[in-house]
Amino acid sequence: MNRVSRPQSIETRALAGFLVSGFLFALLPALLPAWGYDLSTDYGFVGRHFLAMVGGMVLCGLALPRWLPGIGARTLLVTGCGASSLALVALALLPDRPLWRLAGIFVLGIAAGSLHSGLFRAIVRAWESGPAMVLTLAGVFFGSGSIIAVLLVSRTFFTWPVEWILLGLAVLPAVFAIVYSRHAYPAPVFASHPKIVKQFQSGAAVLFSFLLFFQFGNEWTIAGWLPLFLVHRFGMSPAVALEYLALHFAALTVGRMLIYYLLPRINNWRLLATSAATSLFACTVLAATGSRFGAIVCVILLGFSFAAIYPITAEWIGRRFHYYHPGFFNGIFSIGLVGGMLAPWMIGELADWTGLWVVMTLPAVGTCMVVLLLCLIWMNAKVTGE
């Protein structure tokens, strides 16, 4: 993986949009305690908040190519950020009822889908000059946005009513909508090599998609349910539990920054094996420990152990599909995010039957699935010689 110069300012501005993406995805687990779900045992209904988010994303992903095939990056970015801000304002001003809340989150999912489509169209030139740097910066911005969202809620939890918190949170995407409205982005030129369609219908593409599906599911199962798990399991206050979540996001972000420098120097398979073993260990200990110190250690370990899998997978995809384009990356990335939101929903439904301890069980099973898929990808590469 070659080092490259920093992307030009316009692409850097586009990459900064991943801060809004991370901000939006971290809002839901941060807001659940603010809405009083730390006192609820209706885990199934809590999980349906994540289902509403992913439903909006899927609708956006299906509708955009059919209804607006020629829409530009700037329009998508402004629409995504603006709709996110309006959805948060609506959640603050509309009656505090479950169906209104789910509808607002559904719109938030549509906005996130629009934002991601615009982001991957806007970073074309940066991607062409250096995919590794683009992935690193995108991960840093995404993690930073997640940390900002969680800390904003945790620091205002006991001082502001939830309506004020939501209005304050609406400011960040509104600012980005204004910034993006003032700059144009070049239209992406999609490659038309005859091998592209065949490659993206191959078994390898399916395996990579499933790998990201399960890995994002692992990450967002922990992120989505960690505050409520810590409140119920350890009796923490919601504000402290949210600070633990921010610490988890910080470990994940720092870990991905370190991975950028370690990848050329360390065997990828050994790094993946270490990551998988560490995440299994951390999930097991976090489910069994009664110590807050043990909990904080496991939260940090989970962040670092999850950090390696996505960057390594993305690098392999870039090598495996020689005619790769950020537009295609948006599709695989979106599949991963769908998995990331579906897994917390499934946790909620299962927790209604088994209890909240299942929060640490599903990521352990998901890690085993990731290891299995990595083995299948390795065997596929050996058989095909690619």
pLDDT > 90? residue 48: yes
In the structure encoding, which two tokens stand for residue 21, read together? 């993406």
Residue-level pLDDT at 193: 41
**What is the average pLDDT score of the chain?**
82
pLDDT > 70? residue 273: yes
What average pLDDT score do residues 70-82 get? 87
Condensed to tens digits (0 to 9), the pLDDT of residues 246-266 reads 999 999 999 988 887 887 777
The answer to whether residue 171 is domain-embedded is: yes
Residue-level pLDDT at 299: 92
Q: Phi and psi dihedrals of 4, rounded to 5?
A: -135, 165
CATH number at residue 122: 1.20.1250.20
pLDDT band at residue 9 under the 50/70/90 scheme: low
Q: Phi and psi dihedrals of 67, rounded to 5?
A: -90, -35
Q: Phi and psi dihedrals of 184, rounded to 5?
A: -95, 155
Rounded CA separation 364/373 (Å): 14
Taking residue 267's Cβ as centre, other Cβ atoms within 10 Å add up to 9
Task: Report helix angle 238-262 to 131-156, nearest 10.
Answer: 170
Measured over the CA atoms of residue 85, residue 220, residue 22 and residue 126, the dihedral's sign is negative
Residue-level pLDDT at 7: 43
Residue-level pLDDT at 214: 83
What average pLDDT score do residues 97-103 get? 89
Sole residue written with tokens 């910080």: 250
Residue-level pLDDT at 288: 83
Share of the chain above pLDDT 90, in %: 35
Q: How many domains does the chain have?
A: 1
Rounded CA separation 66/82 (Å): 22
Residue-level pLDDT at 194: 41
Tell me the one-letter amino acid at 315: E
The answer to whether residue 386 is domain-embedded is: no
Residue-level pLDDT at 126: 66
In the structure encoding, which two tokens stand for residue 201, read together? 């219908």
Taking residue 70's Cβ as centre, other Cβ atoms within 10 Å add up to 6
What average pLDDT score do residues 6-12 get? 55
Taking residue 234's Cβ as centre, other Cβ atoms within 10 Å add up to 16
The answer to whether residue 4 is domain-embedded is: no
Say which residue, 275 or 65, is predicted with more confidence: 275
* Residues in Cβ contact with 375 at an 8 Å cutoff, skipping those fewer than 6 apart: none
> Do residues 225 and 361 lie in contact, with contact meaning Cβ atoms separated by under 8 Å?
no
Residue-level pLDDT at 5: 39
Residue-level pLDDT at 188: 56
The answer to whether residue 1 is domain-embedded is: no
The answer to whether residue 131 is domain-embedded is: yes
The answer to whether residue 282 is domain-embedded is: yes
Length of the chain: 386
> Do residues 230 and 236 lie in contact, with contact meaning Cβ atoms separated by under 8 Å?
yes
pLDDT band at residue 74 under the 50/70/90 scheme: confident
Residue-level pLDDT at 385: 61
* Residues in Cβ contact with 28 at an 8 Å cutoff, skipping those fewer than 6 apart: 49, 50, 53, 105, 224
Give the CA distances from residue 133 to residues 7, 11, 129, 190, 261, in Å, rounded to whole numbers and listed in that order. Answer: 8, 12, 9, 21, 11
At residue 225's C-alpha, the angle toward residues 49 and 135, to 5°, is: 90
User: Residue 245 is part of which domain span?
Assistant: 9-185+193-381
The answer to whether residue 2 is domain-embedded is: no
Condensed to tens digits (0 to 9), the pLDDT of residues 163-197 reads 999 999 999 999 999 999 887 776 655 444 444 44
What average pLDDT score do residues 65-80 get? 79
Q: Report the range of poorest mean pLDDT among 47-56, 151-160, 308-317, 359-368.
A: 308-317
pLDDT band at residue 11 under the 50/70/90 scheme: low
Taking residue 164's Cβ as centre, other Cβ atoms within 10 Å add up to 12
**In 3D, which of 45, 38, 88 has the Cα closest to residue 344?**
45
Condensed to tens digits (0 to 9), the pLDDT of residues 187-242 reads 655 444 444 444 445 566 677 777 878 888 888 889 999 999 999 988 899 999 99
Say which residue, 377 or 7, is predicted with more confidence: 377
Q: Phi and psi dihedrals of 65, rounded to 5?
A: -60, -30
pLDDT > 80? residue 337: no
Condensed to tens digits (0 to 9), the pLDDT of residues 140-149 reads 899 999 999 9
